[in-house]
Structure 1
Amino acid sequence: MKAEILATGDEIRSGTLVDSNSAHISEKLEENGVEVVRHTCVGDDLSMLTSTLREIGQRVNVCVVTGGLGPTTDDRSAEAAAKAAGLELVENEEALANVESFFKKFKRPMTESNRKQAFLPVGAKILFNPVGTAPGFAVSIKGCRFFFLPGVPYEMKRMLADHVIPDLLAIQGDAALHSRVKTITTFGLPESLAGEKSAGVEAAFPGVQLGLRANFPQIQVKLYGRDSDARRLEERLDEAGRWIVEKLGKHVVSQNGETMQAVIGQMLLTQSATLALAESCTGGLMANWLTHVAGSSGYFLFSGVTYSNRAKIDVLGVDPNTLEEHGAVHEETARQMAEGARKVAGATYGLSTSGIAGPDGGSEDKPVGTVCIGFAAPDRSYGRRLFFPFGKRLMNKKIFAMAALDILRKELMGIGEP
């Protein structure tokens, strides 16, 4: 079964709004055995929308349309669907009841413009919307089954799960194919090298397709599979995943697509350990990433953005002589920063960053892209200098922060390199 996704609206077409709906719909359709072959976007012009629906109807078996179901005059999806299908647009009693129930729930009067949302192609199947005013609907055009959903993401997601996916599974019946994607998160290898090391997986596991996605500064290795037997598919992807892990070794952060910060959080909780940070060049980025994970209060104690030398001395207890002799960007400075953060917070571990994010401020000895990372544990501490050849400030801040977290990850795994 082949499908197409149509996003409607001038705000999507013009780039004013980012179309996140199509990505979500694609993922869910593929997971349920429907092959998505094309994404299309069109504005609010009625004739353009009508002709696009007819064209799609001749290309694929299924189409999910988002947007254009609101109460305003530029919401024209229902009218275009009726024209494309050669059907009359009529007021639907079930749809009207759906609209009215939303306003009754919030004890608000329904406006006359909202009544427009109940006008649908005659014979269309109503897709009830429990979280918004716009009911969706399903109708056939040129032999293709169209599902029309609201453009509001949380409404679309609820209705996709409640109506569209069950209908598609029923249509496919025993012929339904299960699609899965296994994501392996890595750090420390360029995309080209990660691709080279992973390249043999398709030959080793027929039916498995390899894909790589750069989510800077991490690389995601993706394994795609499709099979009529869900358990067999899961086993094949798990075997292929273990093959990839063996090839990429210590660069594998997660075998389940988890982020670096989520993996670190799980390890800290498992080990009943806590963490304190001292950030200079990363400006609190590590703290932001770590605290974005739910439950981080169970292990994250403190972060000090000690940007100035005075803050490093007064807050973290860095020796002024160290700063005078070596400067802020130095392994010993970073080591003392990590030690200081650990002591201030009473944490199990301390982690620090001090570097030159650029685009200015570099020197021959310490060019832009230089970072010193400090690590402190109850029994030892050290500093390490790394260099990343990126000229953009935000890219450097991200990779500095990720490199520091990776040092912590390896220490927690017992594979650190002092």
Structure 2
Amino acid sequence: LEEAGVEVARLNAVGDDLERLVAVLIEIGARADLAVVTGGLGPTVDDLSAQAAAQAAGVGLVEDSSALAAIETFYRRRNRPMNPSVRKQALFPQGADILSNPVGTAPGFTLSIGGCRFFFLPGVPFEMRRMLTEQVLPRIDRLRGAGREHRRVRTFCCFGLTESVTGERVAGVGGRFSGVRLGLRARFPEVQVKLYTSAASEAAAAARLDAAAIWVRERLGEVLFSEAGEPMEAVVGRLLRGRQATLAAAESCTGGLLASLLTDVAGSSDYFLLSVVAYANAAKRGILGVSGETLARCGAVHEETAREMAAGVRRVAGATYALAATGIAGPGGGTAEKPVGTVCIGLAGPECLYGFRFHFTYGERALNKRAFAMQALDLLRRELLGLPHGG
């Protein structure tokens, strides 16, 4: 909502209790102009949003025939029986406008309670996001009308610094640039810096953010990987595509996570060729060609092993670049020399063959794996941009 220029004044979380839901809706209706409610639109007894909204607005519930037909069509097209309880999702407060759900069975709706316009959306994240983007935000924009202040936000994504250090680097932006507000968000394993502003025109708001962005960019330096809120894997993909380059991966400790992240990006088949999950040493030798002598002398978690893994998968795939990750994600398996959180990353390319060692202290296996994969992608980003690797 804030990225769409809507100032969010308050967040409420309410359990599945009808009396409390009604009270909160009435209270919000008395003080707010706009409210978005998510969840509680399903077919079960604890899905109470429509009933609570009707009581708060002082109206009854009515069945919408068009909504019911859409729900029935959803099930029929999938050759699935429709449970009678699902019919509940076609009940709405009298006078509500229906918001269709193109990817699920629970429609949303909008109505006024007190002086506030409410938008009720499903709680399923991908359903909610699509309906918010396609139906709610355009309606909010129309409701705000002409003469409103234009609110804008810009998101800078960073990797390699803690939230506190990142905050210290950009803390002075509000004092230097009038009307610009700073926000920080830890979105593991990256940190996002957000700049907010509002102005009488969209051009004025954009110009204000452009000026502040120059200073923020200089303060963040090479840890900044996106100024548009893009994930690291999308940034790396764009860089590869721009060079008509291809990528392969050899994964041990990340277990396919690198491949998963890369293929989350639509069109990644343009540049991503393959990933080999070589977890056992025998696979590292047999598939990737890692030397048995290297494994005996250095072990599986070592810069030299990572280099040979990267070189091997690059050769197997015929790729321009290759990444390799071998490490100790935990919770066990660490030693004094190689504690849990240690990862060695190999990077092979037309003019490079590197091995780097990093250590993360997150303590949880899933977090370490995510950090390992992000670090590998960041090394490739830096190589493609000619930046120091930081290893």
Shared fold (TM-score, shorter chain, > 0.5): yes
Q: Does 1:120 align with 2:86?
A: no
Per-residue deviation at 1:195?
0.9
Residue in structure 2 matched with residue 99 of structure 1 by the alignment: 68
Residue in structure 1 matched with residue 185 of structure 2 by the alignment: 213
Q: 1:40 to 1:312 in 2, by over 3 A?
A: same
Q: Which amino acid aligns with 2:150?
A: H
Residue in structure 2 matched with residue 261 of structure 1 by the alignment: 233
Residue in structure 2 matched with residue 374 of structure 1 by the alignment: 346
Per-residue deviation at 1:356?
2.2
Correspondences of 1:99-178 after superposition (within 5 Å): 99-100=68-69, 103=72, 114=87, 117=90, 120-121=93-94, 124-127=95-98, 129=100, 131=102, 137-149=109-121, 151=123, 160=132, 164-178=136-150
Answer yes or no: is the 8 Å Cα contact 2:22–2:56 preserved in 1. Answer: yes
Q: Does 1:291 align with 2:263?
A: yes
Answer yes or no: is the 8 Å Cα contact 1:99–1:133 preserved in 2. Answer: no
Residue in structure 2 matched with residue 6 of structure 1 by the alignment: none
Unaligned runs of 5+ in 1: 1-26
Q: Which amino acid aligns with 2:331?
A: P
Q: Does 1:53 align with 2:29?
A: no
Moved more, 270-279 or 152-161: 152-161
Per the alignment, in what secondary structure is the counterpart of residue 371 of structure 2?
A: helix
Per the alignment, in what secondary structure is the counterpart of residue 40 of structure 1?
A: coil
TM (norm. structure 2) is: 0.85
Answer yes or no: is the 8 Å Cα contact 2:246–2:320 preserved in 1. Answer: yes
Answer yes or no: is the 8 Å Cα contact 1:278–1:306 preserved in 2. Answer: yes
Counterpart Cα distance in 2 of 1:128 and 1:171: 16
Counterpart Cα distance in 2 of 1:321 and 1:133: 59
Moved more, 42-51 or 69-78: 69-78
Per-residue Cα deviation, 1:48-78 (whole angstroms, up to 9, x for no partner)? 3333322222222233344555666665545
Counterpart Cα distance in 2 of 1:174 and 1:143: 19
Q: Does 1:318 align with 2:294?
A: no
Q: 1:355 to 1:212 in 2, by over 3 A?
A: same
Q: Does 1:360 align with 2:329?
A: no
Counterpart Cα distance in 2 of 1:273 and 1:266: 10
Task: Compare CA radii of gyration and give the structure with the larger one.
Answer: 1
Q: 1:127 to 1:31 in 2, by over 3 A?
A: farther
Q: 1:137 to 1:289 in 2, by over 3 A?
A: closer
TM (norm. structure 1) is: 0.80
Answer yes or no: is the 8 Å Cα contact 1:126–1:135 preserved in 2. Answer: no
Residue in structure 1 matched with residue 205 of structure 2 by the alignment: 233
Per-residue deviation at 1:116?
8.7
Answer yes or no: is the 8 Å Cα contact 2:158–2:190 preserved in 1. Answer: yes
Counterpart Cα distance in 1 of 2:112 and 2:262: 48
Q: Does 1:393 align with 2:362?
A: no
Per-residue Cα deviation, 1:18-58 (whole angstroms, up to 9, x for no partner)? xxxxxxxxx2xx34544322222334544333333222222
Answer yes or no: is the 8 Å Cα contact 2:26–2:113 preserved in 1. Answer: yes
Per the alignment, in what secondary structure is the counterpart of residue 180 of structure 1?
A: strand
Answer yes or no: is the 8 Å Cα contact 1:127–1:163 preserved in 2. Answer: no
Correspondences of 1:182-197 after superposition (within 5 Å): 182-197=154-169
Counterpart Cα distance in 1 of 2:372 and 2:99: 48
Work out the number of aligned pairs and report it.
Answer: 385
**CA RMSD of superposed structures (Å):** 3.2
Counterpart Cα distance in 2 of 1:305 and 1:111: 46
Answer yes or no: is the 8 Å Cα contact 1:78–1:120 preserved in 2. Answer: yes
Counterpart Cα distance in 1 of 2:51 and 2:364: 49
Q: Which amino acid aligns with 2:68?
A: V
Taking only the aligned residue pairs, the percentage that are identical comes to 52
Q: Which amino acid aligns with 1:218?
A: E
Q: 1:269 to 1:388 in 2, by over 3 A?
A: same
Per the alignment, in what secondary structure is the counterpart of residue 328 of structure 1?
A: coil
Residue in structure 2 matched with residue 222 of structure 1 by the alignment: 194
